[in-house]
Amino acid sequence: MTTQTGFSKRTVSPFRYDVVGSFLRPQALKVARAQVAAGTLDAAGLKAVEDREIIKLIQAQEAAGLKAVTDGEFRRSWWHLDFFWGLQGIAKKQLTQGYVFNAEETRAESATVTGKISGENHPFVAHFKFVKAHVKAGVQVKQTLPAPAQCLAELQRPENIAALRQVYATDAAAVKALAAAYHQVLEDLYAAGARTIQLDDCTWGMLAGNHTKGAETGAVSARNDAVLDQNKQLYLTVNNEAIKDLPADLTINTHICRGNYHSTWASAGGYDSVADPLFNRENVSAYYLEYDSDRAGGFEPLKLVSDDKLVVLGLITSKSGELEDRQTIIDRIHEAAKYVPLDRLCLSTQCGFASTEEGNVLTPAQQWAKIELVKSIATEVWGA
């Protein structure tokens, strides 16, 4: 099926206009979480608020014309850690220092291995079922998860590596366990009705940034290149192992970012050093790619994207409420089409609006204006 402009009509994710998944937390949810922290609201009370606010968000996304909706990650504090904590054998850990971004430092929390890792009874399955039960007919549910590589990278942090090694003596053993745990969660989500999973993954952006930083300072060496290659292979392996042998009608996409916390960022560097194997050997259907600033580099690495995959251009920033110039975005879409055919391109925001519960520095009205801009440009370019 084609649109009036001759482009194929997207009936599965990614759609021509899309968002990454997280939304600004409503005030009622912020108040409820503060009450839980103060000991004046219990878990059941918090869930009631979450349920109510998620239903409102689903309705708002449907009204905005989104064809695949999420729960906004309203039940999470972090885009990634909450999922890790839901795996068997992994627990919450307090650190002395948080993640360091260009202008801020996050809360000091992480995840540590406490025993054999597995994926049974993950709470995100129930979270998915709730959203699925409240969408209108014809609206798809997109379940976002941090990528297996992201979990591996977290467990390999200097503060966490000793605990990992107590259970898994080698990276290969850890990769095997993590991939199996994720595979279990993915199968459980599929059984619950999930047909679109998005793996959010900062590992590739951080690798690219570290390599770029080394090149800028003249510090890139054969050893650094070897470490880069080793990490690329580890991340590729754990991601591909986790998603292999899944049902053919389960779409697995991925989102690549360089950090998104309170409108700040953690890494800078183009995709050049990670395009191989990311774009040609990771077995996903589509890449949601950060492309809202010079920190993401140019489009040329997209020439390595396999012919059967789509690219969702994250040209609209979620870090600021200021609306982009419409024609500039259209021109950039056509520039990217020099490397990936226009019919295999889509448009989205560069990242979520609230990768953590703190949220980015923009208003709810600006958030929805961004989504409307994405939709209107996509409609002009592809007939959406």
Kindly state whether residue 283 falls inside one of the protein's structural domains. yes
Phi-psi label, residue 218: left if phi above 0, alpha if psi -120 to 50, beta otherwise: left
Chain center to CA of 69: 14
Kindly state whether residue 33 falls inside one of the protein's structural domains. no
- Domains: count for the chain: 1
Residue 172's Cβ-side half-sphere holds a number of Cα atoms within 13 Å equal to: 0
**H helices of the chain, where?**
27-38, 43-63, 81-86, 123-132, 148-155, 161-167, 171-191, 203-217, 222-243, 275-281, 326-336, 364-382
Kindly state whether residue 37 falls inside one of the protein's structural domains. no
Owning domain of residue 184: 17-26+57-382
CATH code (residue 174): 3.20.20.210
Selection from 323, 321, 265 nearest residue 294 by Cα: 265
pLDDT tens for the chain, 384 residues long, are 455 568 999 999 999 999 999 999 999 999 999 999 999 999 999 999 999 999 999 999 999 999 999 999 999 999 999 999 999 999 999 999 998 888 899 999 999 999 999 999 999 999 999 999 999 999 999 999 999 999 999 999 999 999 999 999 999 999 999 999 999 999 999 999 999 999 999 999 999 987 665 555 555 455 577 889 999 999 999 999 999 999 999 999 999 999 999 999 889 999 999 999 999 999 999 999 999 999 999 999 999 999 999 999 999 999 999 999 999 999 999 999 999 999 999 999 999 999 999 999 999 999 999 999 999 999 999 998
Contacts of residue 166, Cβ cutoff 8 Å, sequence gap at least 6: 113
Residue for token digits 């409102």? 56
User: What's residue 166's pLDDT?
Assistant: 98
The model's pTM is: 0.95
User: What's residue 226's pLDDT?
Assistant: 83
Kindly state whether residue 289 falls inside one of the protein's structural domains. yes
Distance CA 270, CA 48 (A): 43
Kindly state whether residue 162 falls inside one of the protein's structural domains. yes
Kindly state whether residue 187 falls inside one of the protein's structural domains. yes
CA distances from 229 to 63, 203, 233, 276 (A): 45, 13, 6, 10
Kindly state whether residue 375 falls inside one of the protein's structural domains. yes
Kindly state whether residue 87 falls inside one of the protein's structural domains. yes
